Structures are given as structure tokens and as C-alpha cells.
């Protein structure tokens, strides 16, 4: 017997938010964050099959947003100053659709952006930016902001 999916439980991206330094980033239109699992092939004696050994992880992501200021560009650009450290920060990504079951809230730690957005526009169009980044670690948070284990 087929199980019928309740369409009202499908999570809507309209309820996704990104927070940086306690500030809700209203210009964000899309977010992607993922952890790539790095593996090496292991030849196994007595079989044609190849095994896999996990050897590391790598966090990557991107934020697509309307340009409303140069705040992030200025912060990221501090890397151009040889006497300043690179801009490293944390982001909290939350997806909280009131009709769906549960809340996803994730903090990304050690976020470093991959490029400095300088100029990108087209006459007659809204200006959008895409900020690609890497991150070192992540944690799931509950609705109160407490780390889930």
C-alpha cells in the first residue's frame, strides 16, 4: 500500500533566514551549505570490489543575496591588508516553516569567503551577489540555540 505524502509538510524556503553577528540578513535569497566527505579507495584482497576509507571532510557553501550594502565586501577585503588577519566569522542558518515538522537551525563556524565582490551590475536589473565560502565546523542547534548532540 502506497503512503500518501502530506503536501503541507513539505518545507518552504520562504521561511529560511541567515543571521550574522546577531543581525538578520534580509537581503538573502538563497543559501547552500554542505559538507563533502573525502574518501580514498582501498583495494581489498580476495575481491574485485573496492572499499572506501573516510579521510576527511570539507565544508562549502554559498549565499545569494540582493546587494544592499558593501558591508561583507569591506570585511572580506581586509585580507588585502598584509598586516590584518583574514575575515573569519560564523553564520546561523535557520529553516522554520510553521507547517512542517521541526526546525533546522545550524551554526557554521570558521566561515571564510572565497572572493571579494567588487562590481557586478546590469542597467535595468536589481544587483545580486553570490558569496562562496568554506567553513571549518558546524553544529545543529535546537529552537533555543542550544547545541544538539
Please write the tens of the pLDDT for every residue from 41-94: 999 999 999 999 999 999 999 999 999 999 889 999 999 999 999 999 999 999
Q: Work out the angle at residue 87's Cα, subtended by the Cα atoms of residues 86 and 92, and round it to the nearest 5 degrees.
A: 145
Show me where the domains of the chain are located.
35-140
- 13: helix, coil or strand? helix
Please provide residue 108's backbone torsions phi and psi, each rounded to the nearest 5 degrees. Answer: -100, 130
pLDDT averaged over the chain? Answer: 91
**CB 101, CB 9: distance < 8 Å:** yes
- 142: helix, coil or strand? coil
Element (H, E) at 1: none
Q: What is the pTM of this model?
A: 0.86
**Per-residue pLDDT at 94:** 93
User: Is 8 a residue whose pLDDT tops 80?
Assistant: yes
Amino acid at each position: 500500500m502506497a503512503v500518501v505524502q502530506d503536501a503541507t509538510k513539505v518545507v518552504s524556503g520562504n521561511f529560511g533566514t541567515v543571521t550574522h553577528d546577531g543581525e538578520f540578513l534580509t537581503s538573502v535569497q538563497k543559501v547552500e551549505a554542505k559538507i563533502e566527505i573525502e574518501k580514498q579507495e582501498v583495494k581489498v584482497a580476495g575481491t574485485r570490489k573496492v572499499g572506501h576509507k573516510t579521510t576527511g571532510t570539507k565544508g562549502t557553501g554559498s549565499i545569494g543575496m540582493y546587494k544592499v550594502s558593501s558591508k561583507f565586501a569591506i570585511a572580506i577585503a581586509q585580507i588585502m591588508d598584509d598586516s590584518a588577519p583574514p575575515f573569519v566569522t560564523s553564520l546561523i542558518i535557520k529553516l522554520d516553516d510553521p507547517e512542517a515538522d521541526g526546525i533546522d537551525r545550524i551554526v557554521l563556524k570558521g566561515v571564510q569567503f572565497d572572493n571579494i565582490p567588487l562590481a557586478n551590475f546590469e542597467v535595468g536589473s536589481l544587483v545580486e551577489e553570490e558569496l562562496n565560502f568554506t567553513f571549518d565546523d558546524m553544529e545543529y542547534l535546537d529552537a533555543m540555540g542550544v547545541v544538539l548532540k
